[in-house]
């Protein structure tokens, strides 16, 4: 048995090492957690790496705006995510009770106390409290003990972030609406704030700090509510300043590619911008905009890539391979009798295939999908979902089935994208079948887009 399992493990290592050349991050789409079959609920998130595993910790917005839970997901490649645990859940009363605001959880590991320390913005529904909440755990994705809230040094604190410097010192990045964005030093155990390090005159929110080659970069958003704006950055060689004038890092006028900074993650030599694309009318369907951030000296710049290849283990990224597009309405596909070709203004070929699933269990199968290599890759599906809740489909590629979530797109005439990871065989014999789940309707499918290699 040992021999056999070792062989399986070796095979998995060889397979993952050799052929992950085209796994992609697709910003602004539905991202399904492998073990829940639902869109990832990690809004306003932070990331902490433990060993070779990344943990994504964010807000669960499934049931709207008020606090429900803080969720933790894990991944080793930053693309395939597994739900691990709720770190904090709704309590009967108090800071984490009904109708409370609990946002932007961020975690640091304190090596002196061997504790993971999580800070959150904790507030009343009218934002009068303006406090930070602190909780701790001995396990990164385990149960957290809530330890209460305070106003750092007596000042209001709304959007917040954490930064751990290379010397182990911890810092709270905090939006003080009255006085401006602040950096405060954390106590050695990270459970309190001891002193102010810097306060900007500017009133910015959603702060995130990284350090690259001795230069600190502070990224932050202007104050425009749920609507995106051109986020800004400032640099310094000391956290206590002087800090440079604020400048845009994404294309001016793009509103940071319609996103708001939630975190900036250092991955080896590269840095990744992580933003929230908020859908204020239906927060659970908010998506994630993650892009490679180019840092050079004291300059940061962010270019839009609809999809891009990340190699988390190597800390490198690249532009994606070319891809082939396959229309759902094509006569080369196999459709069972209850499906229908529908018109859709935003769809390629102005057509989509609807009525997949339902009580009759109708299905759509794409035939003849091509790949120049045997590979594990990212397939994109463009779809429409005019509902206000997620739709689900069981997607089967070459006999392997995964449940995929499709967040609302606002209307049956507007497409969204869902990305998914599957194995393809070399050649033109790959198939992808779309089926409903438990008698529900799958989304209407516009097309799939598949890397050529
Ligand atoms: C936290 O720090 C502040 C300011 O240094 C201090 O006034 C307060 O007593 C501390 N709180 C605790 C619980 O130690």
Buried b vs exposed e over 112-126: b needs ≥16 C-beta within 10 Å? eeebbbbbbbbbeee
Question: pLDDT tens digit string along 304-322?
Answer: 999 999 999 999 999 999 9
Main-chain dihedrals φ then ψ at residue 255, nearest 5 degrees: 55, 45
Residue 18 maps to a domain: no
**Are the beta carbons of 451 and 371 closer than 8 angstroms?**
yes
Strand partners of residue 267: 270
pLDDT at position 13 over 70: no
Neighbours of 96 (CB within 10 A): 21
- Closest Cα to atom 10, ligand 1: which residue? 192
Q: Which pLDDT belongs to residue 319? A: 96
Same domain, 397 and 297: no
Residue 33 has pLDDT above 60, yes or no: yes
Q: Are residues 235 and 335 in the same domain?
A: no
At residue 4 the predicted structure's pLDDT band, cuts being 50, 70 and 90, is very low
CATH code for the domain of 294 = 2.115.10.20
User: Residue 195 C-alpha to ligand 1 middle, in angstroms?
Assistant: 10
- Residue nearest to ligand 1 atom 5, measured at CA: 194
Does residue 110 belong to any structural domain of this protein?
yes
Q: Furthest-apart CA pair in the chain: how many Å?
A: 69
Are 294 and 340 within one domain?
no
Give 375's contacts (C-beta < 8 A, 6+ positions apart): 19, 21, 22, 423, 424, 451, 453
Cα(394) to centroid(ligand 1), Å: 53
Q: Is the pLDDT of residue 18 over 90?
A: no
What spacing in Å lies between the alpha carbon of 152 and ligand 1's midpoint?
A: 9
Select from 277, 304, 331 the last residue of a domain: 304
Residue 342 and residue 201 share a domain: no
Q: Does residue 206 belong to any structural domain of this protein?
A: yes
Pairing of strands 427-435, 444-451: unpaired
Shared-domain flag, residues 198 and 269: yes
Q: Are residues 35 and 172 in the same domain?
A: yes
**192 C-beta closer than 6 A to ligand 1:** yes
Quick check: 39 and 285 in contact, CB under 8 A? yes
pLDDT value of position 411: 85
pLDDT value of residue 295: 98
Per residue in 86-129, pLDDT (tens digit) is: 999 999 999 999 999 999 999 999 999 999 999 999 999 999 99
Among 275, 304, 333, which residue terminates a domain? Answer: 304
Q: Is the predicted pLDDT of residue 66 greater than 60, yes or no?
A: yes
Q: In whole angstroms, what is the distance from residue 6 CA to residue 8 CA?
A: 5
E strands, 33-152, are 43-50, 53-60, 69-75, 82-89, 101-110, 115-123, 131-137, 145-150
Which CA distances in Å does 223 have to 45, 67, 115, 229, 321? Answer: 18, 22, 33, 8, 38
**Residue that finishes a domain, picked among 304, 332, 356:** 304
CATH of the domain at 426: 2.60.120.260
Residue nearest to atom 12 of ligand 1 (CA): 192
In a domain, 4, yes or no: no
Nearest CA among 221, 193, 123, 273 for reference residue 183: 193
| Same-domain pairing of 36 and 167 | yes
Question: Do 54 and 203 share a domain, yes or no?
Answer: yes
Domain count, the chain: 2
Give the atom of ligand 1 at the shortest distance from the alpha carbon of 153: 4
Identify whether residues 250 and 191 lie together within a single domain: yes
Same domain, 348 and 264: no
Give helix then strand counts, H and E, for the chain. Answer: 2, 35
Quote the CA–CA distance of 235 and 217 in Å, as a whole number. Answer: 5
The reply to whether 51 and 188 lie within a common domain is yes
Ligand 1 touching residue 151 (CB < 6 A): no
Please give the residue range of the domain that contains residue 227.
28-304
- Residue 22 confidence (pLDDT) above 90: no
- Would you say residue 1 lies in a domain? no
The full DSSP string for 380-424 is EEEEE--SSS-EEEEEEETTEEEEEEE---SSTTS-EEEEEEEEE
CA of 417 relative to ligand 1 center, distance in Å: 48
Say if 13 falls within a structural domain: no
Kindly give the distance from the C-alpha atom of residue 193 to the centroid of ligand 1, in angstroms, as a whole number: 7
pLDDT at 20: 52
Question: Poorest-confidence range of 7-11, 76-80, 209-213, 336-340?
Answer: 7-11
Nearest CA to ligand 1 atom 13: 192
The Cα–Cα gap between 151 and 351 comes to 54
- In whole angstroms, give the CA distance from residue 64 to residue 132: 21
Residues 271 and 333 in one domain: no
Is the distance from the beta carbon of residue 294 to the nearest atom of ligand 1 less than 6 Å?
no
Contact 170, 115 (CB under 8 A): no
Beta carbons within 10 angstroms of residue 6's beta carbon: 10
Q: Which phi and psi angles does 69 have, rounded to 5°?
A: -165, 160
**Residue at 182 is within a domain:** yes
Indicate whether 15 belongs to any domain: no
Task: Say if strands 69-75 and 53-60 run parallel, antiparallel, or are unpaired.
Answer: antiparallel
CA dist 178 to 130, 163, 232, Å?
11, 22, 19
């Amino acid at each position: 048995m040992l021999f056999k399992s070792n062989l399986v493990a070796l095979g998995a290592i060889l397979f993952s090492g050799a052929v992950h050349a085209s796994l992609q991050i697709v910003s602004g789409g539905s991202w399904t957690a492998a073990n829940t079959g639902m869109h990832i609920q990690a809004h306003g998130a932070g990331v902490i790496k433990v060993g070779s595993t990344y943990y994504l910790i964010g807000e669960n917005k499934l049931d709207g705006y008020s606090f429900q839970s803080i969720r933790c997901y894990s991944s080793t490649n930053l693309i395939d995510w597994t739900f691990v645990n709720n770190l904090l859940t709704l309590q009967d009363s108090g800071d984490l009770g009904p109708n409370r605001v609990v946002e932007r959880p961020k975690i640091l590991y304190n090596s002196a106390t061997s504790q993971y320390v999580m800070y959150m913005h904790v507030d009343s529904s009218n934002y009068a409290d303006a406090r930070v909440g602190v909780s701790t755990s001995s396990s990164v994705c385990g149960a957290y003990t809530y330890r209460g809230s305070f106003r750092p040094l007596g000042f209001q604190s709304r959007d917040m972030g954490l930064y751990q410097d290379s010397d182990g010192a911890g810092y709270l990045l905090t939006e003080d609406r009255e006085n401006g964005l602040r950096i405060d030093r954390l106590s050695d155990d990270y459970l309190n704030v001891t002193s102010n390090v810097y306060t900007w005159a500017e009133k910015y929110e959603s702060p995130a700090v990284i350090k690259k080659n001795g230069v600190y970069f502070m990224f932050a958003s202007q104050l425009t509510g749920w609507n995106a704006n051109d986020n800004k950055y400032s640099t310094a060689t000391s956290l206590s300043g002087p800090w440079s004038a604020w400048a845009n890092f994404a294309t001016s006028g793009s509103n940071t590619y319609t996103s708001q900074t939630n975190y900036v993650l250092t991955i080896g030599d590269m840095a990744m911008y992580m933003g929230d694309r908020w859908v204020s009318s239906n927060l659970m369907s908010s998506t994630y905009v993650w892009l490679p951030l180019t840092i050079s000296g004291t300059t940061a710049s962010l270019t839009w890539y609809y999809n891009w290849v990340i190699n988390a283990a190597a800390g490198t990224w690249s532009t994606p391979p070319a891809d082939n597009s396959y229309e759902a309405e094509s006569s080369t596909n196999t459709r069972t009798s209850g499906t229908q070709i529908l018109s859709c203004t935003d769809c390629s070929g102005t057509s989509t295939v609807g009525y997949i699933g339902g009580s009759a269990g109708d299905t759509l199968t794409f035939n003849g999908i091509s790949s120049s290599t045997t590979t594990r890759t990212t397939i994109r599906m463009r779809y429409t979902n005019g509902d206000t809740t997620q739709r689900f489909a069981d997607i089967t590629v070459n006999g392997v089935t995964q449940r995929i979530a499709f967040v609302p797109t606002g209307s049956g005439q507007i497409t969204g994208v869902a990305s998914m990871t599957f194995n393809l065989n070399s050649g033109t014999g790959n198939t992808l079948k779309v089926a409903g789940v438990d008698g529900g309707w799958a989304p209407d499918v516009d097309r799939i887009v598949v890397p050529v290699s």
